[in-house]
């Protein structure tokens, strides 16, 4: 399980890669993909959709379960990684390469954690289950 230093994280297990101050890529963390297991379906928003920090913008499904993907930021969907729809397994292979959406015009963000703080949060969550 690894959490790259250059990314930010939220407690609902998404990562954020800021491309500039108001533009960022979003995906789910290595811990999230490992917990879900083999992913087989991704439901993505469309370009131009508005997303809101703390609210679901899509969902992922593994063989066993479905899970919402929560937006860590508020803004507008600039682009969508439609390749994920054809190959959800790419998320299991490389959680940080498999971005879901790029959001621009970011006006608000959820509480962000750096890699170290997020790793601690994951450890705490694991010890509870």
Partner 1 sequence: MSELKTPLYEAHMALGGKIVPFAGYLMPVQYPAGVIAEHMAVREKAGLFDVSHMGEILFKGPDATANLQTLLTNDFSSMPLNKARYSVMCNEEGGCVDDLIVYKYSDEAYFIVVNAANKDKDFAWMQSHCFGKATCTDISDTVGLLALQGPAARTILSKVTDAAMLPTSYFTANFHGEIEGKTCMISRTGYTGESGYELYLAAEDTVAIWNLLLEAGKEEGLIPCGLGARDTLRLEAAMPLYGHEMDDTISPLEAGLDFAVKLQKAEFIGKKGILAKGKHRTRVGLKVTGKGIIREHMDLYADNILVGHTTSGTFAPYLNHPLGMALVDVAYSEPGTGMEADVRGRRVACQVVSLPFYKTSNK
Q: Is 40 in the site for partner 1 (CB under 8 A)?
A: yes
Query: Rounded distance, CA 89 to CA 73, Å?
Result: 25
3: Cβ–Cβ under 8 A, 6 or more apart, which residues?
9, 15, 29, 30, 31, 115, 118, 119, 122
Query: Rounded distance, CA 51 to CA 128, Å?
Result: 31
| Number of neighbours of residue 14 by Cβ within 10 angstroms | 21
Q: Is 92 in the site for partner 1 (CB under 8 A)?
A: yes
Among 2, 4, 19, 37, interactor with partner 1 by CB under 8 A: 37
Structure tokens at 78: 């600039």
- Nearest CB to partner 1, comparing residues 55 and 114: 55
Among 38, 93, 114, 123, interactor with partner 1 by CB under 8 A: 38
Q: How far is CA 4 from CA 29, 77, 97, in A?
A: 10, 24, 11
Least distance between partner 1 and beta carbon 107 (Å): 27
User: Where does this chain touch partner 1 (CB under 8 A) — which range of 14-22, 23-31, 63-71, 95-103?
Assistant: 63-71
- Nearest CB to partner 1, comparing residues 37 and 97: 37
Among 49, 50, 61, 104, interactor with partner 1 by CB under 8 A: 61
Q: Is 1 in the site for partner 1 (CB under 8 A)?
A: no
């Amino acid at each position: 399980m690894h959490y790259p230093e250059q990314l930010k994280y939220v407690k609902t297990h998404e990562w954020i890669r800021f491309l500039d101050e108001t533009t960022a890529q979003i995906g789910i963390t290595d811990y999230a993909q490992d917990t879900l297991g083999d992913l087989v379906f991704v439901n993505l928003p469309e370009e131009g959709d508005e997303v809101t920090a703390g609210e679901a913008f899509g969902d992922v499904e593994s063989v066993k379960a479905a899970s919402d993907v929560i937006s860590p930021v508020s803004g507008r969907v600039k682009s969508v990684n439609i390749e994920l729809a054809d190959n959800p397994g790419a998320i299991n292979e490389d959680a940080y390469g498999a971005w879901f959406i790029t959001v621009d015009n970011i006006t608000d963000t959820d509480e962000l954690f750096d890699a170290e703080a997020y790793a601690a949060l994951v450890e705490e969550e694991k010890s509870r289950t």
